Amino acid sequence: MEIVTRFAPSPTGYIHIGNVRSAIYPYLLARQNNGKMILRIEDTDRARYVEGATELIEGTLEWLGINWDEGPIVGGPNGPYFQSERMDIYHEWARKLIAAGRAYADPTTPEKIEEYRKECNDKKVPFLYRNYRPDNTPEWEPGIPLRFKAEPKPYSWHDEVMGDLSTGPEVLDDIILIKKDGYPTYNFAHIVDDHEMGVTHLMRGAEYISSTPNYLAIYEALGIDRPKIVTLPHILAPNSNKKLGKRDGAKSVTEYREDGILAETMLNYLACLGWNDGTEQEIYTKDELIAKFSLDRIQSSGARYDETKLLWLNGQWIRKIFTEQGADALYARTLDFWPKSAEKSTDEYKLRVLSIIYDRLKTLSDLRDMTGYFFEEPTLDLDMLVNNKFLKKLSKSETEDLLKKSISKLSGLEQWNADILQNALNELLAETDKKPAELFSLIRIAISFAPFSPALNLTMDVLGKETTLARLNTVARAL
């Protein structure tokens, strides 16, 4: 049987890392089995609808490399893929339930319902609407909500992640199927849609476990088979034990792109948060994830989101792309991340800078803070020079002398490349009888005034003879 999965977000804003995994796992499962992945937009809550949210969702999936076989943009045989355009379908299925005596129009006002609820709270008994089911119910027509008529009984079912689950009859209730405004609730719409679209694996967060018995009752009343249920454990916020949400400051997935996190990193990290293949592998390409993913190795407990590990992984990916795909491939990813001062520099020059600094990057946006001195004259900061832990041992005249000797040595070089520069530095060490820490720190700071930089010979090579000497001379004059 063909495997059909779906990601069904509601367009109420951006996708954040707390819920994007509900898109990744269905995608991996579908691709692994040559199945289908459906994107369905659950836009039945008009009050929470956010203009542009659908495009945001599509853009996020696209960035992550998660493509869908049916859904917005691509279409498909089971459309429409916006729930707001499927009203007739829901109403048709609703009438089946009414005909079967399993749904009723409920004229009770919200105020009255609130009274019932309060009454139960006061008596400290659980509030179940089915205990207040009205005796006489009108014909169902637009403007009146439609409720399911629950038949309380225990349920047990199998969850591909959580195992065998069960509940007693007390959780079954008369839930709303169609709202006053005619739109279906999630509770009803997703069941109809998953059925109509042939979904075989329903993957969603752990918050749906408690309402599952009510859904099982609806499948039953509708006389339809249900998909396999795959409950995904929550992703926990860094500083609380609660599931990660927007209130915890959960950033949108695309915000990470702007921060210089690679899509490969994001996919890799999130896929492995709550799943592993049992080996000690840490770095997975998308293809490897597709090949190795398995439902039975999804964790049943929540996993805490750890940005530190994400950053580490991103560094690994930056290096992986550089070594496996080449400097050009990595450079192509960095275009939006250079400091403003780099605007007038050529691609070739920036590529050289990238090639000597890439292994220090945790995010691509680190380029902005770490490469300024390659593109503009650094601000003279003599304190930095004098207070350096190696240089402060030197007297002022020693420093001046060392700088002069360096300038003289370097300006005498016929050729200027990394090897020649390293030789020259080695000779300088021998001639001046200084420790590497002293000589190198002096030159390094004088040409960059940065807290850290790539290897000295490489930095000078990229900077070029003229710039290097000009900066050294500037410092020599200022001392």
Candidate residues 3, 440, 447, 469; the one interacting with RNA per rule CB under 7 A: 440
Catalytic residue among 228, 246, 251, 409: 246
**Cβ distance 105 to 145 under 8 Å?**
yes
Q: Is 246 a catalytic residue?
A: yes
Asked if 415 touches RNA (CB under 7 A), the answer is no
Candidate residues 45, 259, 288, 398; the one interacting with RNA per rule CB under 7 A: 45
Buried/exposed code over 324-363 (b: 16+ C-beta within 10 A; e: otherwise): eeeeeebbebbeebbbeebeebeeeebebbbbbbbeebbb
Residues 304-333 touching RNA, rule: CB under 7 A, are: 304, 306, 308-309, 312, 315-316, 319
Residues 384-413 touching RNA, rule: CB under 7 A, are: 390
For RNA, the closer of residues 22 and 200 by Cβ is 22
* Chain centroid, CA 82 distance in Å: 24
Residues 51-80 touching RNA, rule: CB under 7 A, are: none
Strand duo 176-178 + 146-148: pairing: antiparallel
The pattern of x and - marking residues 100 through 129 that bind RNA according to CB under 7 A reads ------x-xxx--x---x------x-xx--
For residues 233, 238, 241, 244, the Cα torsion angle rounded to the nearest 10 degrees is -50
Asked if 341 touches RNA (CB under 7 A), the answer is no
For RNA, the closer of residues 2 and 393 by Cβ is 393
For RNA, the closer of residues 34 and 166 by Cβ is 166
Structure-block tokens of residue 133: 């089911």
Asked if 131 touches RNA (CB under 7 A), the answer is no
Query: Would you call 138 exposed, middle or buried from its count of C-beta atoms within 10 A (0-12, 13-18, 19+)?
Result: exposed
Q: Which stretch binds RNA (CB under 7 A): 58-66, 174-182, 216-224, 250-258?
A: 174-182
Report in angstroms how near the CB of residue 425 gets to RNA at its nearest. 7
Report in angstroms how near the CB of residue 86 gets to RNA at its nearest. 13
Task: Give the separation between CA 390 and CA 386, rounded to whole angstroms.
Answer: 9
Structure-block tokens of residue 313: 């992984």
Amino acid at 344: K
Task: Give the separation between CA 49 and CA 460, rounded to whole angstroms.
Answer: 55
The pattern of x and - marking residues 353 through 372 that bind RNA according to CB under 7 A reads ------xx------------
The pattern of x and - marking residues 178 through 217 that bind RNA according to CB under 7 A reads -xxx-x-xxx------------------xxxxxx------
Report in angstroms how near the CB of residue 198 gets to RNA at its nearest. 19
**Cβ distance 70 to 105 under 8 Å?**
no
For RNA, the closer of residues 2 and 154 by Cβ is 154
For RNA, the closer of residues 138 and 347 by Cβ is 138
Report in angstroms how near the CB of residue 274 gets to RNA at its nearest. 4
Residues 418-437 touching RNA, rule: CB under 7 A, are: 422, 425-426, 429, 436-437
Residues 289-308 touching RNA, rule: CB under 7 A, are: 297, 299-304, 306, 308
Task: Give the separation between CA 249 and CA 259, rounded to whole angstroms.
Answer: 15
For RNA, the closer of residues 190 and 201 by Cβ is 190
Residues 144-163 touching RNA, rule: CB under 7 A, are: 145, 162-163
For RNA, the closer of residues 45 and 400 by Cβ is 45
Amino acid at 408: S
Report in angstroms how near the CB of residue 34 gets to RNA at its nearest. 26
Q: CA quadruple 195, 245, 170, 95: dihedral positive or negative?
A: negative
**Cβ distance 254 to 53 under 8 Å?**
no
Provide the 3-class DSSP secondary structure of residue 439.
Answer: helix
Residues 442-461 touching RNA, rule: CB under 7 A, are: 444, 451-456
Report in angstroms how near the CB of residue 156 gets to RNA at its nearest. 9
In 3-59, beta strands by DSSP E: 4-7, 36-39
For RNA, the closer of residues 67 and 316 by Cβ is 316
Report in angstroms how near the CB of residue 282 gets to RNA at its nearest. 5
Task: Give the separation between CA 77 and CA 196, rounded to whole angstroms.
Answer: 11
Query: Partners of 37 in the beta sheet?
Result: 5
Task: Give the separation between CA 440 and CA 429, rounded to whole angstroms.
Answer: 9
Kindly report the backbone phi and psi dihedral angles of residue 146, in degrees, each rounded to the nearest multiple of 5, phi listed first: -110, 130
Residues 224-283 touching RNA, rule: CB under 7 A, are: 233-234, 236, 240-243, 272-276, 278, 280, 282
The pattern of x and - marking residues 4 through 43 that bind RNA according to CB under 7 A reads ----xxx-------------------------------x-
What element of type H or E holds 458?
Answer: helix 456-463
Q: Which stretch binds RNA (CB under 7 A): 25-33, 164-172, 287-295, 464-472?
A: 164-172
- Of the candidates 253, 295, 252, 298, the one whose C-alpha atom is nearest the C-alpha of residue 272 is 298
For residues 94, 97, 101, 105, the Cα torsion angle rounded to the nearest 10 degrees is -20
Report in angstroms how near the CB of residue 414 gets to RNA at its nearest. 20
Provide the annotated active-site residues: 246
